[in-house]
Amino acid sequence: MDKAMLLQRAGVYLQSEKDEAFASEVKQIIAENNDKELEDRFYRNLEFGTGGLRGIIGGGFNRMNTLVVTRATQGLCDYILQQMPGKQLSACIAYDSRRKSVDFAMATALVFAGNGIKAYVFSCLHPTPTLSYAVRQLKADTGVVVTASHNPPMYNGYKAYWNDGSQVVPPHDTGITDKVEAVKTVRTIEKQEALDKGLLVMLGNDIDDAYVTMVKSKLFRPELIRAQAKSVKIVYTPLHGTGAVLFERIMGELGLPVLTVPQQREPDGEFPTVSYPNPEEPAALKMAIELGKKEKADVVMATDPDADRLGIAVPDKAGNFVLVTGNQLGALHLDYILLSLNELGRMPKNPVCIKSIVTTDLQAAIAEKYEVECAECLTGFKWIADLMRRFEREGKTFVYGTEESYGHLIETEVRDKDGISAAALTAEMTLYWRSQGKSLLDRLEDLYREFGFYEEKGLNKYFEGPSGMQIMSDIMENYRCAQPAAFGGIPVVSIRDIKTGFRWNVDGSVRKKLDLPESDVLQWRLADGTLVTVRPSGTEPKIKYYILSKTAVENDDLDAARTASRIKIAAIEADIRKVLG
């Protein structure tokens, strides 16, 4: 895009942006002739991806700002008004601790009100799962949460939800995007007018009370918790986000002692004690683990800023804390849930669990043991919710959903990942295995001995700027033109291309149509059962690789399996890095 076009787009933006701080940024860039920055802010519009709208906060069409947020909301209004004509519509809005989240949330609410749609707004910051829960409880027609999840402080985002509390999927996501792109005028009103007309309602404690009751009802052994709660010690960090109030309340009502990291308890969009507020990152749990060691905690827990993800660390026999990955915690959850349903005689008819296509196959092995269906979906929790809808129509019973990126769901009352309810289940699971003389690490080793040693490695590379998308597209198409014969010296036996919608064996013996929506994802199954996946991110300018290794455990020797697994993963990684440079 040439400079004249960029300046034209910047002019259109400046005519419409009502937030002077964002407008001033753009004016300064133009005045300084900062062509690179001008291009990055205006070469495209910020688009919906797997997680909705997400970007760096600032002025411009390729940034998160008031204009982009209100246009997205107007497009959402136009879409639901078209989809649900003649109905008095309503929406729920929540927000997290990030920069401008409160402003973006209120701007969103006033656009809903300006379109005659009643806007229910949480009166203070709240976790993402409570937004999904509120949409269902209030029978709202849509919902929005303002959050950039675990991204760095310069980011914010906007997730749109449908009337069942799930993030939007096709055809609604593309339908909303089309409406957003067609927006000419944003209809909004002042806050006082919206309040006077009953089109703006600030939510009190009722939703929280119902949510807390629901989470506690999903636990399997309340009597065990009552008897032994005081014997377990939990250290927790909300990473300056939204999780503390509800986490502490639920654990407190269960009688479980919690020590919250004091330096990280208060909401702060600058995330001053961490470089990256993501419980997947070891550095993010550093302060919590230090407190855990000092207090001899049984488990350390962390939720990300919008509290939809949960990460944990647990002490080994020497007292050193070991980080538990999202795949490992998901396997432990599923094992505990199915074991408990089975032991307590509560296994439902037609039970089904759901995992993403880049989540460990250990889940499927555990499900098979209990004769439970394990379904797969695309990356992004909206696809788990989409399958939940389908399974309800088919008479199947959802028991658990998870994805490798630390997302877990144990209830049907929420249709997004829920770090708060996952934490409550993790606390009970810790107590249960202690009552059996085991730690969570002991149980994980039991699973490895039974099903094989599973280990994962993720690789990411960022490609910023207008050329980034093309570079990632070229990487994917180069793979399709010349499929790898092996990774790390292990032959590829089958290929799954979710963009073309087929899976085939390299020897030509099988070619099968996939029951998955189209997505730019390639997967290679290796001869030993290892799975290698590559896909461009839907929310960030990066390409992502997933290595899901499976290694047989021979003669009960887990150490040998670990060593073999890491050598294998290193060799596969070396082949991938040859492509990335």
Q: Which CATH number characterizes residue 252's domain?
A: 3.40.120.10
Contacts of 26 (CB under 8 A, 6+ apart): 10, 13, 14, 17, 41, 59, 60
Within this chain, do residues 101 and 180 fall inside the same structural domain, yes or no? yes
Q: Which two tokens stand for residue 306?
A: 């919008």
Alpha-helical (H) ranges within 43-100 are: 66-83
- 73 shares its domain with 109: yes
pLDDT at 180 exceeding the cut of 70: yes
**Mean pLDDT, residues 194-216 taken together:** 97
* Predicted confidence band of residue 286 (pLDDT cuts 50, 70, 90): very high
C-alpha to C-alpha distance for 136 and 173, rounded to whole angstroms = 19
Active site residue: 97, 101, 132, 149, which one?
Answer: 149
Looking at the structure, do residues 426 and 504 belong to the same domain, yes or no? no
Indicate whether 324 and 457 sit together in one domain: no
pLDDT tens digits, one per residue of 224-240: 999 999 999 999 999 99
Residue 509 known to be catalytic: no
Residues 217 and 149 in one domain: no
**Pick from 135, 188, 184: nearest CA to 385:** 135
Q: How confident is the model at residue 47 (pLDDT cuts 50, 70, 90)?
A: confident
Three-state DSSP state, 528: coil
Q: Classify burial at 223, counting beta carbons within 10 Å of its beta carbon; exposed 0-12, middle 13-18, buried 19 or more.
A: exposed
Q: How far is CA 106 from CA 159, 200, 214, in A?
A: 15, 10, 28
Q: Which amino acid is at 193?
A: E
Select from 412, 428, 451 the last residue of a domain. Answer: 451
Average pLDDT on 97-103 reads 97
Residue 482 and residue 394 in one domain? no
Judge whether residue 466 has pLDDT over 80: no
What is the domain extent for residue 373?
Answer: 205-451
Q: Are strands 90-95 and 522-526 parallel, antiparallel or unpaired?
A: unpaired
Structure tokens at 273: 């004690």
Do 474 and 440 reside in the same domain of the chain? no
Q: What is residue 581's predicted lDDT score, i.e. its pLDDT?
A: 80
pLDDT in tens, 300-315: 999 999 999 999 999 9
Q: Indicate whether 471 and 564 sit together in one domain.
A: yes
| Average predicted confidence (pLDDT) for the chain | 95
Contact 522, 480 (CB under 8 A): yes
* CA-based end-to-end distance of the chain: 27
CB atoms inside a 10 Å sphere around CB 572: 24
Bridge-based pairing of strands 299-303 and 234-237 is parallel
In the prediction, which pLDDT does 259 show? 98
Q: What is the pLDDT of residue 17?
A: 92
Residue 50 above 80 pLDDT? no
- C-alpha 148/C-alpha 165 separation (Å) is 18
DSSP assignment of 433-481 equals: HHHTT--HHHHHHHHHHHH-EEEEEEEEEE--STTHHHHHHHHHHHHHH
Pairing of strands 90-95, 142-146: parallel
The total of other beta-carbon atoms located within 10 Å of residue 351's CB is 20
- 131 and 211 fall within a common domain: no
Residues 323, 314: Cα–Cα separation, whole Å: 7
Query: Is the confidence at residue 155, as pLDDT, over 60?
Result: yes
Three-state secondary-structure class, residue 38: helix
Tell whether the model's pLDDT for residue 106 goes beyond 90.
yes
Average pLDDT over residues 440-467: 93
Mean pLDDT, residues 104-125: 98
**Residue indicated by tokens 């600058």:** 270
Tally of structural domains, the chain: 3
Question: Residue 234's closest CA among 305, 303, 288?
Answer: 288
User: Is residue 470 predicted with pLDDT exceeding 90?
Assistant: no
Same domain, 154 and 177: yes
**336 pLDDT exceeds 90?**
yes
416 and 463, same domain (yes or no): no
- Residue 465 is predicted with a pLDDT of 74
* Per-residue model confidence as pLDDT tens digits over 529-572: 999 999 998 666 799 999 999 999 999 999 999 999 999 999 99
Domain end among 175, 204, 233: 204
Residue 539's pLDDT is 62
Task: Indicate if 161 and 61 belong to the same structural domain.
Answer: yes
CB–CB of 285/237 below 8 Å?
yes
pLDDT digits (tens, 9 = 90+) for 374-416: 999 999 899 999 999 999 999 999 999 999 999 999 999 999 9
Q: Residue 49 has what pLDDT?
A: 58
Alpha helices in 370-404 (DSSP H): 381-394
Task: Please give the C-alpha separations between residue 405 and each of 358, 434, 540, in angstroms, as whole numbers.
Answer: 9, 27, 14
Boundary of a domain, candidates 405, 432, 451: 451
Q: What is the pLDDT of residue 407?
A: 97
Residue 538: what pLDDT? Answer: 65
The pLDDT of residue 448 is above 90? yes
The predicted structure's pLDDT at residue 537: 80
Looking at the chain, the whole-number percentage of residues with pLDDT higher than 70 is 98
Q: How confident is the model at residue 454 (pLDDT cuts 50, 70, 90)?
A: very high
Q: Hey, CA dihedral for 549, 554, 560, 564, is it positive or negative? A: negative
Classify residue 162 as left (phi > 0), alpha (psi -120 to 50) or beta: beta
Portion of the chain with pLDDT greater than 90, in percent:
91
**Distance in angstroms (rounded) separating the CA atoms of residues 109 and 119:** 5
**β partners of residue 119:** 91, 200
CATH code, 547: 3.30.310
Write down how long the chain is: 581
Q: Which region among 366-370, 452-456, 477-481, 506-510 has the lowest average model confidence (pLDDT)?
A: 506-510
